[in-house]
Amino acid sequence: MPRVIAAGLIVVMVGVGTGCAVHLPEPASDVVGGASQAAPSPSRTASPVPPSAPPAVRLSGLSPASSAGRSRNGRPTRSPSATSSASVPGRAPAHFGTLSPGSSLPTGARCAAWVRATKFAENKRVNAAANQVTGQRLGSGFFPANDDPRANAQLRVRVDGAFTGTTRQILRWAACKWGIDEDVVYAQAAVESWWRQTTKGDYYSDPAECPPGHPLGADGQPGNCPQSYGILQNRYPNEISAWPSAERSTAMNADTGYAIWRVCYQGYETWLNTVERGRQYGAGDMWGCVGRWFSGRWHTAAADGYVAKVQGALNERIWETTDFQEG
C-alpha cells in the first residue's frame, strides 16, 4: 500500500489475513486538476508471510548512486547492487537489477519483449483473470505538489499497465520498467499479498474512502471497507486515478507501485525530510524506499521493520518454496 501523506497516524488491517498498526489520522488525498495524487503513505502492518524496442527514457538531474541494502538488525543480508544502465539493447537480460538514480529506464514495450523471452509457468491460478487485464493512464496530478515536478512530468506518464502474462512475468516486467532488482520485487509482493491480486487490506469505516463497488460491509467486515488492493496492496484513497485498473489488473497494480518506488528512489520526495524520520532522506536508497511504501516515513522503526520482513523473504527466496506454489 503506497503513498504520500503529510503527517498522520492510523489503525489498519492488511494483506493476506489481518494485521494492525497504529498511525496518525491522515488527511484525505489531495486532488489537482481533478486527478487524485499519490499521497504520502500512512503506516500499517505488513501481512505476515504464510508459513511454509522504443528508446529508453533518460531521467534528468541526478547522478548514479549506490543502492546496496543493509540489514536493519545487524545481520548481513543479500544486497542487490545498483547498475548505471539498463542492459545491452535487444538482448534479454537474465536478471533485472537496480538501476541507479538518473539511469535510462527501458520502455514498457522493450521490457515486455525481454520478459516474454523467458517462460515461467503460472504459480498463482487465482490471478488468471487479472493477469490478462491491462491498465490505464494516471491523472495529471497523481503525484502531489510537494514532490519534485519531475515525478509527474517524467515518471507518471510512463504508467499504463500495458502488459499481460503470468504473475512472475508481470512482476519481472515491472522490475525491468522501473529499474529495481526483480528479486526484491518478488520478495515484497510475497510479503504484501503472497502474490495474490485478489488480496484486500487496510479496512476502515469512512465510506468516502471506499472504492466503487466496495461499500461498507461488502467485503466481509461489517461497517468497514478495504482501502488496499492487489499484489502490492495499492491504496485507493491515495491513488484514485489508478482505479479501477489497480484493482482489476495485476500489471497496473505493479506498474503504479514501482513508479511510486522510483519517484522515491530518484530523490523526488523531499517532503520526507519535513516529517518524522530516522535519518535524512536522499536519492539512491533502495531499501529506504521499500520501507517508505509501508510507513510513509523514512527509516523509522516501522519502515525498517517492514524492510526486515522483505529482506527475510528475499533471503529465503520464498517465491521458490513449495508452499508458495498455487498453480
Strand partners, 99: 83
217-228 burial, b at 16+ Cβ within 10 Å, e below that, comes to: eeeebeebbbbb
CB half-sphere exposure, 74, CA atoms < 13 A: 0
Distances (CA, A) of 86 to 114, 119, 228, 299: 12, 21, 31, 28
Burial of 103 per CB tally in 10 Å (0-12, 13-18, 19+): buried
DSSP 155: I
Per-residue pLDDT tens digits of the chain, which is 327 residues long: 544 433 333 333 333 433 333 222 333 333 222 333 465 544 454 444 443 333 444 444 333 333 333 333 333 334 565 543 344 456 899 999 999 999 999 999 999 999 999 999 999 999 999 999 999 999 999 999 999 999 999 999 999 999 999 999 999 999 999 999 999 999 999 999 999 999 999 999 999 999 999 999 999 999 999 999 999 999 999 999 999 999 999 999 999 999 999 999 999 999 999 999 999 999 999 999 999 999 999 999 999 999 999 999 999 999 999 999 997
Residues 257, 260: Cα–Cα separation, whole Å: 5
Residues 325, 190: Cα–Cα separation, whole Å: 11
CB 244 within 8 A of CB 211: yes
CB 12 within 8 A of CB 46: no
Element (DSSP H or E) covering residue 98: strand 98-99
